[in-house]
Amino acid sequence: MDKSFIESVEYLKSKTGIEPKSGIVLGTGLGDLVDHLDIEIEIPYEDIPHFPVSTVEGHQGKLIFGFLNGRAVVAMKGRFHYYEGYTMQEVTYPIRIMKLLGIEDIYISNAAGGVNPDFQIGDLMMLTDHINFFPDSPLRGPNIEEFGPRFPDMSQPYDLNMRSLALVSAKELGVLLHQGVYLGNPGPSFESPAEYLHYRTVGADAIGMSTVPEVIVARHMDIKVCAFSVITNIAVPGKFGQNSHIEVQKAAVKTQANLTQLISLMLGRIGAR
């Protein structure tokens, strides 16, 4: 194992005694979940050895340790994207570090464009599967045996038990929770109308520029995954319109309360085991 992983983990363990059981990745406009955390410490990415630094508006760039509804967690406030110029290994570096810190499961969120005609702006979708349109893999190169096998199984990327818990929790909260397939592509441009139609044709319900590499690496290390998309723009025939990152952020902010409640309730039910 590369010494960079060891140095990152040693630094973090020198700053906190919390041993997180769950990881959380907060996407565009979804950072307010940390306001509900019982926070022990916030560590800027730039202070962590070998950590990338987020460059995208709406991604503040902090690793946060604390408790959410009794569960010890480590949360990324701001993620990294392939379109920022990072390698896939850099994009997914924090997921590796979370594993070494002890997480057993991870909750990933993103902002996404909806191509399912049943979706509306502000809806939540839980990922049941994904389609990978990224041109590179975070597993390319020498395999690190301590993390997982050379050819990891991806027959169930999103944990069935966590998905069932999410559905029960959403029903209790009165939150509409769609289920669907997420398509990840490199960005950073939004898709053209023809591309949106193509992605819908191949089976996508929502489209984004993240998440898939993180899920691949998480599953490589046998971390259980549950992921959610906030539908921030609609791209179906008759509803095509101009897209902007500012509008995506605004739409995500309106929905983050529902997602915060959902993840908090799920973690409370898993408990502090």
Residue 95 has pLDDT above 60, yes or no: yes
Please list the alpha-helical segments (H only) found in the chain. Answer: 3-15, 88-91, 93-101, 160-173, 193-201, 212-220, 245-270
Contact indicator for 213, 150 with CB cutoff of 8 Å: no
Nearest to 91 by CA among 42, 47, 140, 57: 140
pLDDT, residue 234, reads 83
Residue 273 has pLDDT above 50, yes or no: no
Residues linked to residue 64 through DSSP beta bridges, in sequence order: 42, 75
Asked if omega into 188 is within 30° of 0 (cis), the reply is yes
Residue 52 has pLDDT above 50, yes or no: yes
Q: How far apart are CA 263 and CA 183, in angstroms?
A: 22
Joined tokens for residue 126: 């839980």
Per the document, the length of the chain is 273
pLDDT, residue 232, reads 87
Q: How far apart are CA 266 and CA 204, in angstroms?
A: 26
Q: Which CATH class is domain 3-270?
A: alpha beta
Nearest to 89 by CA among 142, 153, 20: 142
Domain boundaries, the chain: 3-270
pLDDT, residue 27, reads 80
pLDDT-based confidence at 164, cuts 50/70/90?
A: very high
Which residues are CB-neighbours of 244 under 8 A, at least 6 positions away? none
pLDDT-based confidence at 29, cuts 50/70/90?
A: low
Would you call 125 helix, strand, or coil by DSSP?
strand
Contact indicator for 33, 259 with CB cutoff of 8 Å: yes
Interval 244-266: pLDDT, tens: 656 666 666 767 888 999 999 99
Joined tokens for residue 154: 């991806």
Q: How far apart are CA 243 and CA 233, in angstroms?
A: 7
